[in-house]
Amino acid sequence: METTLIILKPDAVQRGLMGRILARFEDKGLQVVGCKLMQISQELAATHYSAHKERPFYPGLVKFMTSSPVLVLAIRGNGAITIARNMMGATFGSKANPGTIRGDFGVSNSFNLIHGSDSPEAAERELGLFFKAGEVLNFERAGDRWIYDYSGGKAE
């Protein structure tokens, strides 16, 4: 099982899309194991997006991410990183396929509604930035046996 970081960005929060987007992850069978509404500080945004510091869009990105609250999620499931990124769709809403979060809710090439970790290493780093020890929970869901085939001893 993988755990990934998802951020519903300021545009998703301001547009009242949090519940609809969160429901898509739960409908897919992914488990929410951490969740908080928060205002990202300048320092946290700078740390989170440090890989983009030299890019021309960096100042605007930090300004955008600190402009309004965000919903930060820890999502768990078998292959959660790939599944979540496929559900998000292409980076720009204007290029994202219908049926994806960005394809259904976005048209902007700047405001793209959602962030998801792109690798297990990034997920571990990013989850550590946004969640303190004990804030990402481990618990069994009774319905998991109807989401995953455990007949081989592990989730498939």
Domain spans, the chain: 2-132
Query: pLDDT digit string (tens) for 104-119?
Result: 999 988 899 999 999 9
Catalytic residue annotation: 115
Query: Quick one: pLDDT band at residue 156, thresholds 50, 70, 90?
Result: confident
Query: pLDDT digit string (tens) for 87-143?
Result: 999 999 999 999 999 999 999 888 999 999 999 999 999 999 999 999 999 999 989
Distance in angstroms between the alpha carbons of the first and the last residue of the chain: 10
Query: What is the CATH class of 2-132?
Result: alpha beta
Of 58, 88, 73, which is closest to residue 126 (Cα–Cα)? 73
Indicate the pTM of the whole model: 0.94
DSSP line for 72-101: EEEEEETTHHHHHHHHH-SSSGGGSPTTSH
